[in-house]
Amino acid sequence: MKLSSRGRGCCVAGSRERGPPPRSPFVHQLRFSPLEKAKIAFMTLTLFPIRLFFAAFMMLLAWPFAFIASMGSDEQELVKPLSWWRKIVDVLLKAIMRMMWLAGGFHWINVKGRRALPAEAAILTVAPHSSYFDAIPVTMTFASIVMKAESKDIPVWGTLIKYIRPVFVSRSDQDSRRKTVEEIKRRAQSDGKWPQIMIFPEGTCTNRSCLITFKPGAFIPGVPVQPVVLRYPNKLDTITWTWQGPGALEILWLTLCQFHNSVEIEFLPVYIPSEEERKDPVLYANNVRRVMAEALGVSVTDYTFEDCQLALAEGQLRLPPDTCLLEFAKLVRSLGLKPETLEDDLDKYATSAMKMKKEKVDLKEFSAYLEFPESDTLESMFGLFDENEDGIIDIREFVIALSVVCKPSKTLETIQLAFQVSSS
């Protein structure tokens, strides 16, 4: 399955905004010149250990302040004005965090625009989300954030996170997601009594080549939001941390080995939703994403957090770089195949494919096989598999691709299924 000229046209569908980005947003590759390699080697032996020690020391220094300030505080105390000693702790922690980033080579932080007051915008939507260095605006504002539940158990860092009273969410627990949305809505509709909530609506890290689908959680309350865009205008991008690319420790090492790391934080004007947007969080999210994409000068695409697992599967299966698995997943969703029933659909289609007398089908036969009427979406999907552009595809390739989409983390099962349908 490759992005042939026919498939490419079908995927783009004549729209710059909805077309695929020039590369997968979940992949990041670094290429070093000989001079850059020499610089990294020099910095590793000289400045890197000093920076690492100083940054770790600053984090450890912040821990007791955050721990003491968090003791005995409850929800009622949080919505009251800060006591004088908590204001002092707040200033101290912000100063310590700024020194920590300074140790990491972020000598100055370029801030554009004006941060709205909590009464003006209870929610700050930040994008693109590309790294753990995106914590910089969080430590500058001490706004509450939405975090993975596992984060609170991280030594030292977990205490600092708890200090800003985040909303914890478990990606594997559907009930947790519902409670998270309800908590965001409750805080956002408190008329500025709660601290602002800073949300990364993409829900996962990308390489900043585009803005992927925004999750609707930040937009369900229907209150005004302030979009915040992040930029890292560095010659060598050591910041980006994606599902395929340098790991967390390698990113930390390479970033601390740069003489200077640039970051820009731009607060865009507050976005006030229309009545239609208040009733439709998805529409609201898409319109805010469009505004942020225009400010960044990038496209938008309908990839989601779940698609990043497909990018990981592509690497595990060693698929060619021009394989358009992410486009296929997007078309599967467009056809109306639901994630919760996808495994049952896979079993049905695999069984049907193994019973077929021939493996090559045309568009009409493909439509009958899927039990979907012919449509532009179905034709686009057909085009992804029609590599020779002769109007014929191998149905077995469709089944294998659907298996990867259905079970991105179970590559062994996909390989076993591939053998089964090929030998039938």
Structure pTM? 0.75
Q: Identity (one letter) of the amino acid at 68?
A: I
> What pLDDT was estimated at residue 15?
38
> What pLDDT was estimated at residue 115?
96
Asked if residue 258 lies in contact with residue 302, where contact means CB atoms within 8 angstroms, the answer is: no
Comparing CA positions, the residue from 186, 222, 230, 215 lying closest to residue 75 is: 186
Give just the sign of the alpha carbon dihedral 23, 27, 28, 29: negative
Which residue spans within 236-385 are E strands per DSSP?
Answer: 264-267, 299-300, 360-361
Question: Per the structure block, which two tokens stand in for 127?
Answer: 């994008």
Question: Per the structure block, which two tokens stand in for 30?
Answer: 């670094």
β-pair partners for 267: 228
Spatial distance between the Cα atoms of 312 and 320, rounded to a whole number of angstroms:
13
Spatial distance between the Cα atoms of 391 and 170, rounded to a whole number of angstroms:
45
Residue count of the chain = 424
Q: Contacts for 186-189 with beta carbons within 8 Å, 24 or more apart?
A: 187/122, 187/144, 188/122, 188/123, 188/221, 188/223, 189/122, 189/221, 189/223
Question: Phi/psi of residue 232, each to 5°?
Answer: -125, 80
Spatial distance between the Cα atoms of 154 and 63, rounded to a whole number of angstroms:
12
β-pair partners for 168: 147
Spatial distance between the Cα atoms of 184 and 192, rounded to a whole number of angstroms:
13
Other CB atoms within 10 Å distance of the CB of residue 87: 11
Asked if residue 125 lies in contact with residue 201, where contact means CB atoms within 8 angstroms, the answer is: yes
- What would you report as the CA-atom Rg of the chain, rounded to the nearest whole angstrom? 24
Asked if residue 2 lies in contact with residue 323, where contact means CB atoms within 8 angstroms, the answer is: yes
Spatial distance between the Cα atoms of 234 and 194, rounded to a whole number of angstroms:
36
pLDDT values of the chain reduced to their tens digit, one per residue, 424 residues: 554 444 443 343 333 444 444 467 888 999 999 999 999 999 999 999 999 999 999 999 999 998 888 775 555 555 555 677 778 888 999 999 999 999 999 999 999 999 999 889 999 999 999 999 999 999 999 999 988 777 777 888 888 888 888 888 876 666 777 788 888 888 888 877 788 999 999 988 999 999 999 999 899 999 999 999 999 999 999 999 987 889 999 999 999 999 999 999 999 999 999 999 999 999 999 999 999 999 999 999 887 766 655 555 554 444 444 446 667 777 777 777 765 566 677 777 777 777 776 778 899 988 888 888 888 888 888 888 887 888 888 888 888 777 777 665 454 554 455 545 455 5
65-83 CB burial, b ≥16 within 10 A, e <16? bbeebeeeeeeeeeeeeee
Which residue spans within 113-181 are E strands per DSSP?
Answer: 123-127, 144-148, 167-169
Give just the sign of the alpha carbon dihedral 281, 285, 286, 290: positive
Asked if residue 329 lies in contact with residue 307, where contact means CB atoms within 8 angstroms, the answer is: yes
Which residue spans within 7-122 are E strands per DSSP?
Answer: 110-112
Per-domain residue ranges for the chain? 5-20+305-423, 34-300
